[in-house]
Amino acid sequence: MGYIENLRKVIGNQPLILVGAVVAVIDDNGRILLQKKTNGVWNIPGGLLELEESTEEAARREVFEETGIKIGELELVNVYSGKQFFNKLANGDEFYPVTIAYLSRDIQGGELKADGIETLEAAFFHLNELPQKVSPLVNKLVQHYNEMVS
């Protein structure tokens, strides 16, 4: 059982502040790696930290677990937090995420595949040909990346 599950045993559904990391992975063709989540929305890979884990370690772990891709170097893009990111899950759990967003152009290997649990599909998309149902975070990161390269 993980850290968050153990916390939930003690406090139930009360709101928590949880720290997570996400990564906009860009391949050599300038395409971004997206994952189709179980809710049908395309997002970038990422997830919550476990105890003793750095945000960088969590970012790399989540990308690999969810998409099969191994990444190296990470570049800090931004930190997202606040009431506009509040989440209430179907089971009643509530949390305010603090999300550290990274960019990586350092794909080191692996085989692109969805994990079938959190990720229904995983694919690279050209930045001007994104799927219709993308998370707002994807749009923010694509905008940031375009500003960096122009």
Name the pTM for this structure: 0.90
Identity at 150, one-letter amino acid code: S
CATH number assigned to the domain comprising residue 75: 3.90.79.10
Q: pLDDT for 24-53, tens place per residue? A: 999 999 999 999 998 899 999 999 999 999
Q: Confidence band (pLDDT; 50, 70, 90) for 85?
A: confident
Helix (H) or strand (E) holding 3, with range, is: helix 3-11
Cα(49)–Cα(47) distance, integer angstroms:
7
Structural domain that includes position 90: 3-149
- Number of structural domains (the chain) is 1
Catalytically active residues are: 121
Q: pLDDT for 1-24, tens place per residue? A: 588 888 999 999 999 999 999 999
